[in-house]
Amino acid sequence: MSSVNATIRALEAEVHDEVQSLNQQARSRAFRAVNAMQGAAYDVLGQDGTGRVYRRGAKGVHTASAPGAAPAPDTGNLRRNWRRFVLAEGSGKGVRIVCRIKSDMPYASILENGTARMKARPFRQRIVDQAKPEIVRIFEEVR
pLDDT tens by residue, 53-80: 988 777 788 888 999 999 999 888 999 9
What single-letter DSSP state applies at residue 43?
Answer: H
For residues 105 and 78, is the Cβ–Cβ distance under 8 A?
yes
- Which amino acid belongs to residue 50? T
pLDDT at 92 over 70: no
Entry pTM: 0.80
- Phi, psi for residue 103 in degrees, rounded to 5: -75, 140
What is the mean pLDDT of the segment spanning 31-51? Answer: 94
- Integer Rg of the chain from CA: 23
According to the model, what pLDDT value does residue 94 have?
Answer: 72
Q: What is the mean pLDDT of the chain?
A: 89
Q: Say yes or no to pLDDT of 1 above 70.
A: no
CA distance 141 to 25: 9
C-alpha–C-alpha distance, residues 71 and 93, integer Å: 43
3-class SS of residue 84: strand
pLDDT of residue 91: 64
Mean pLDDT of 125-143: 91
Of the spans 3-12, 34-43, 51-60, which averages the highest pLDDT? 34-43
Residue 132, exposed/middle/buried by CB under 10 A (0-12, 13-18, 19+)? middle
Burial track 88-113 (b if 16+ CB lie within 10 A, e otherwise): beeeeeebebebebebebeebeebbe
